[in-house]
Structure formats: structure tokens, C-alpha cells
Amino acid sequence: MATKVTMEALSPTMEEGRLVKWLKNEGDPVAKGDVLAEVETDKAVMELTARGDGVLRARLAAEGDTRPVGELLAVIGAPDENIDALTKKAPAAALTPSEPSPPRSEVPSASQAAAAPTPAATMPTSAPPSAPTSGGNGGGRARSSPLARRLASERGLDLARLHGSGPGGRVIRRDIEAAASAAPVTAAPPAVRPAPPVPRTAGAGDFEDIPLTQIRKTIARRLAESNGPIPTFFLTADFDLTSVRELRERMIALGDEFKVSYNDILLKAIATALSRHPEVNAHWLGDSIRHHHRVHLGMAVAVEDGLITPIIADADRKRISEIARESRELAKRARERKLAPGEYTGATATVSNLGMFGIDEFTAIINPPEVAIFAVGAVGDVPVVIDGALVVRTRVRITMSCDHRAVDGATGARFMQTLHRLIENPLMLVF
């Protein structure tokens, strides 16, 4: 079977080469490895070597010609072999310079066979080489093994420009290694044989692998689900609770059954604001964003060995007194581990409050697929300047964590404006 001699990619970036000089004449016997010609690449003059044994039957390019990588330059074959089929199709033949030889009972030794594709000069040529199914114009997909693809990408080699020695022109590991060792490290002076560079292989010393412990895996997986892939930003604002305090005091004055906490009122305010901003009351679904029309507000509750977020369903439609009763009940049952799964799954947004621990402000980590979480700090009296005068006001600081994939800065800021209006005018919450 004849062996095609093609313009090979002699450097990783080579797209075409100029045939400087033929070193073999038509009719000369050639052996695998013989230098056939000198080729000028974009970097240096390199040697084009034979990949099969036989006789140089035809030279299809003249000295000085520039040819794209993959184009047929010559044919090596047995002296009496019919090579018409190859030479006629010369311009179209690309990317599959050698055909696999059929299985034979007597096989070459491993070292021989491993060194190069196995053209068998003695094989009959009655069957023409099968046409490659990948494109013949250089635009087709080069066949390659998964390993070859990985190695090529690691070494910055273009697969489409490599000679594939596997079945059907498949580029396999040895082709990558051949290309890597053929690539000159620096531009060598013309006509000087470049020193064979040591192929760069990923090996010992390049890195050290530290195995992950179970706890590291869990930490990485859980935290990456939040702070890793979720691009989070934070919006912090102070909210004046003077009106809320007055409202609360008046309600308490009406009797114990009207007693609610600051947190209950803030939950109600956040839920009401969420109902007006579905773009915040949303889930990130990977390929879409789901705006929820109902508000199911999660509230983070510390339990003995962690935390859980029971849910106040339809929190925006509940009265403050209902929220107060329900949040107390849920927190109690959360600590007793008596929550049913339906009571802590499906939140559309979550509130976390560390005010009772004296934390002034903090940031909370979004609980996917939700896109926002609200971190509520301690309620306290602070000095503030109002109309040029220093006065003492009851205030709270709330930080909103936003998933930027779903919520933009202005979107979050508008939500915080709504929340401001509600908290500073709490009658709107009972309207």
C-alpha cells in the first residue's frame, strides 16, 4: 500500500510551508525516517521525513512551492504499484495521510510498530484507500482520541494540523508526542537541524496533589454551591424604626394579645416588599429565572448543631400577629427537630437575624436557588443627624445579599427603597 507524503505541521502554529529543496528524486528508494525534503515553516527550515518504505514514486510539488498543511506532496510506493488514484486526487487529499493496514497474522515487533504507522509495501492495492469522512478541505473535523484531544489542548497544538496515524486518520497519543518533539523550541538558523527538544510532559515535580479529606469535600461542595458559582454582592442600609417602635408600643398598650417583636414587623415588611418585587422574590434555575408570585419567607433558626430555615408560607398575606405566632411556633419546632420537610423547603427568599447576639450588621450567604437573603442586625438607639440636629433614633441595619446572575445593583437598590418606605411608614403594613 502506498504512503502519502503530505505537508506536515512541523511547528504548532504552522499553516503552510514552502518546499525549499527536494533531497530525493523520483525513483529513489526511501526508507522510513529518510529526509525527503527541506520545508520552510513560519519559524525555521525543517526536514520532511518519510513515514513509509518503498520508492519515491511521484513528486507533486516543485521546489519553491508553498502548500497548505495536509496537502499531498509526494507518494511513496512499491516500484510497480498503481498510484493513479492518489496522484489524481492530490489537491483534495488532506488530513488522512495514511490508511490503517488490515490486520495481518504476522505482526511487526512492538517497537517497530509503535514508532510509526505501518505501511505494508507488499499489500495489494486493488482496494483504493477509503475516502476520509471528515472534510478534505482543511475545514473538517480531525478525528482524534479523547486523550489526544486533552494532550493537544494542554500543549497548545492544533489537532487539525496534526498527522493522524490511527485508523481513519485518527490522531492518537503518539502523534501528539511526535508533533511535540518536532516543534522547535526557538527559531533555529535555516538549514541547521534543530536540537530535538525534550517533550514537555506533565510529570512529577510540576505539582503536588493533596487528597481532599471528607470534611474538606463537604465544605467545598456546600460553600461552592453558594459563594463559588453565585456572584454575590451586598447592599446595606440603615432603617429608622422610630415609627415601628411607636406602633409596637401602642399595640402592646392594647393588651398582650397585640404584642409583637421588631423581627415580626421586619418579616412582614420584607415579605410585603418581596410581593412588590418578584424579580427579587425569585429562583435561579440555571437556564431561566423563576419569579414567584407568592412569598414564602424562610427564616434562619439556629439549632443545636447547625441551622435550618423554616418557612412562613404566603408571609405577605399574613397579618403581623399571624407572623408573630407562626414564627415563634416554627422556631420552637425547629429546635425540637419536629419540622416536616414541607415546612423548610420551597422558600422564595430568606431572612437571617443575628441582632439578638448583638451583631450590628453582617452578610448572609444565599441559599440556592433563591437569589436574595436579608441579614438583620441588632435594633438599637444610635445618634443620627436629622435636619442638622443630633438626635437619638432607634435603628436597624439590614444587608441584602444578591445573586448578580438574577438581580442587578439597581434592582436590589429599588427593593431596598420599597423596604425603607414600608419600615418607616409601618401603617402601610397593616393597610
Would you say 6 or 118 has its CB closer to another protein? 118
113 binds another protein (CB under 8 A): yes
If you search the block for the grid coordinates 411607636, which residue do you land on?
246
109 binds another protein (CB under 8 A): yes
Return the SS3 of 223: helix
| Closest separation in Å from C-beta 204 to another protein | 14
Rounded to a whole number of angstroms, the distance between the first and last alpha carbons of the chain is 91
List the one residue from 103, 139, 203, 205 that touches another protein (CB under 8 A).
103
178 binds another protein (CB under 8 A): no
Q: Which three cell numbers stand for residue 220?
A: 467545598
Return the SS3 of 431: coil
User: Of the residues 283, 291, 296, 404, which is catalytic?
Assistant: 404
The residue count for binding another protein (CB under 8 A) is 23
Would you say 155 or 414 has its CB closer to another protein? 155
Q: Which residues pair with 393 in a beta bridge?
A: 382
Q: Which stretch binds another protein (CB under 8 A): 1-9, 38-46, 146-154, 353-361?
A: 146-154
Q: Which three cell numbers stand for residue 332?
A: 420552637
Q: What are phi and psi of 370, to 5 degrees?
A: -65, 160
If you search the block for the grid coordinates 443627624, which residue do you land on?
385
- Angstrom distance (rounded) from CA 236 to CA 116: 67
Would you say 147 or 303 has its CB closer to another protein? 147
Max intra-chain CA distance, the chain: 114
107 binds another protein (CB under 8 A): yes
Residues between 310 and 369 with contacts to another protein, criterion CB under 8 A: none
Q: Which stretch binds another protein (CB under 8 A): 26-34, 75-83, 159-167, 325-333?
A: 159-167
| Closest separation in Å from C-beta 162 to another protein | 14
| Closest separation in Å from C-beta 177 to another protein | 11
| Closest separation in Å from C-beta 381 to another protein | 59
Q: Based on the residue annotation, tell me whether 404 is a catalytic residue of this protein.
A: yes
> Would you tell me how many other CB atoms lie within 10 Å of the CB of residue 303?
13
> Would you tell me how many other CB atoms lie within 10 Å of the CB of residue 147?
12
Q: Which three cell numbers stand for residue 367?
A: 441559599
146 binds another protein (CB under 8 A): yes
Per the CB < 8 A criterion, the answer to whether 253 and 246 are in contact is no
List the one residue from 18, 174, 290, 405 that touches another protein (CB under 8 A).
174
Give 284's contacts (C-beta < 8 A, 6+ positions apart): 230, 368, 369, 370, 371, 403, 405, 406
Pairing, β 297-299 against β 45-49? unpaired
- In 280-387, alpha helices (H): 320-335
Q: What are phi and psi of 334, to 5 degrees?
A: -65, -45
275 binds another protein (CB under 8 A): no
Would you say 132 or 355 has its CB closer to another protein? 132
List the one residue from 96, 165, 350, 394 that touches another protein (CB under 8 A).
165
List the one residue from 9, 58, 74, 148 that touches another protein (CB under 8 A).
148
Q: Which stretch binds another protein (CB under 8 A): 76-84, 102-110, 252-260, 334-342?
A: 102-110
Pattern 126-145, another protein, x by CB under 8 A: -------------------x
Q: Which three cell numbers stand for residue 429?
A: 403594613
Q: Which stretch binds another protein (CB under 8 A): 172-180, 231-239, 268-276, 372-380?
A: 172-180
The DSSP output letter for 171 is B
List the one residue from 149, 155, 276, 294 that touches another protein (CB under 8 A).
149
List the one residue from 110, 192, 210, 427 that touches another protein (CB under 8 A).
110
| Closest separation in Å from C-beta 60 to another protein | 28
Strands of the 29-30 sheet, one edge to the other: 3-6, 72-77, 54-59, 29-30
Q: Which residues pair with 352 in a beta bridge?
A: 375
Q: Which residues pair with 312 in a beta bridge?
A: 297
Return the SS3 of 319: coil
414 binds another protein (CB under 8 A): no
To 5 degrees, how large is the angle CA 55–CA 56–CA 60? Answer: 155
The catalytic residues are 404
Binding site for another protein (CB under 8 A): 101, 103-104, 107-111, 113-114, 118, 145-150, 165-167, 172-174
